[in-house]
């Protein structure tokens, strides 16, 4: 039986690494990204990803703020493969650089709409398809939170708020899914070597190496390492992680 996944924020970073890992595991994948271009991922990056895994991956352009566009991704997935087993909500943006009282409302609004409500929209459009599919007991919803979903980050209060919300969304979803067989969990990466990490370093005017001093491993995490963790959460064996936050953060601030 071939498992089928939807991955949002798929064009680069942890999303792209997750697509690559799931494709290697034999999944069929609907790779979803807004492809807005700099500072976000581009259509060329999404096309390169699908070309690299052409037998397993189909591209779908959708903004996670647009629930109808996500619903179309679910419809395409079911038309292609007639099932949905796994959803990985990776789409996110980064804003910050000022204390809470100086943070523009536009930054808070964007982070809420993409990083938090985007996970909500993704769950709202995909979970019903898993519940009515052929094997709900093997279905997994995985959201990417952050070390910022647990720890307070200097000059990132709005990002903190959004990522704490991701954790709350997942915990509430897991409670709603009780006894259905479908499970939900969050993965909280630490400083991972992605464009978003460089954005964070730029906000602080520090190097990536200085950021990773907060992790016991004293190195940036490779996106493939986070993808390995996500793959476990997405697997049938990930059932035991229901309602959990998996801290894949290299010992961040421990």
The number of residues in the chain equals 254
Q: Mapping DSSP to helix (H, G, I), strand (E, B) and coil, where does residue 4 land?
A: strand
Output the DSSP codes for 83-120.
---EEEE--------S-GGGS-HHHHHHHIIIIIHHHH
The 10s digit of each residue's pLDDT in 31-88 is 999 999 888 899 999 999 999 998 899 999 999 999 999 999 999 999 999 999 999 9
Domain 4-190+226-248 carries which CATH code?
A: 3.40.50.720
**47 within 8 A of 39, measured Cβ to Cβ:** no
Give the side-chain half-sphere CA count within 13 A for 195: 19
Active site residues: 159
Strand partners, 82: none
pLDDT tens digits in sequence order for the chain, 254 residues long: 899 999 999 999 999 999 999 999 999 999 999 999 888 899 999 999 999 998 899 999 999 999 999 999 999 999 999 999 999 999 999 998 899 999 999 999 999 999 999 999 999 999 999 999 999 999 999 999 999 899 988 899 999 999 999 999 999 999 999 999 999 999 999 888 878 777 777 877 777 777 778 788 888 889 999 999 999 999 999 999 999 999 999 888 65
Supply the pLDDT for residue 243.
97
């Amino acid at each position: 039986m071939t498992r089928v996944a939807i991955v949002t924020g798929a064009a680069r970073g942890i999303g792209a690494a997750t697509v690559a890992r799931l494709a290697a595991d034999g999944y069929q994948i609907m790779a979803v990204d807004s492809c807005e271009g700099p500072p976000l991922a581009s259509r060329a990056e999404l096309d390169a990803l699908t070309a690299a895994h052409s037998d397993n991956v189909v591209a779908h352009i959708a903004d996670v703020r647009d629930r109808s566009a996500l619903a179309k991704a679910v419809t395409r997935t079911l038309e292609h493969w007639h099932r949905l087993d796994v959803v990985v909500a990776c789409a996110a943006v980064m804003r910050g650089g000022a204390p809470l009282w100086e943070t523009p409302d536009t930054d808070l609004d964007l982070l809420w709409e993409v990083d938090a409500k985007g996970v909500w929209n993704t769950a709202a459009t995909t979970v019903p398809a898993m519940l009515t599919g052929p094997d709900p007991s093997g279905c997994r919803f995985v959201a990417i939170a952050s070390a910022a979903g647990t720890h307070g980050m200097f000059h990132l209060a709005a990002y903190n708020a959004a990522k704490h919300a991701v954790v709350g969304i997942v915990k509430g979803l897991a409670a709603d899914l009780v006894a259905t067989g479908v499970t939900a969990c969050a993965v909280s990466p630490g400083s991972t070597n992605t464009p978003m990490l460089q954005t964070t370093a730029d906000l602080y005017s520090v190097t990536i190496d200085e950021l990773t001093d907060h992790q016991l491993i004293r190195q940036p995490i490779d996106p493939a390492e986070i993808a390995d963790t996500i793959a476990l959460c997405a697997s049938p064996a990930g059932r035991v992680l229901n309602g959990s936050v998996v801290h894949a953060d290299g010992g961040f601030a421990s």
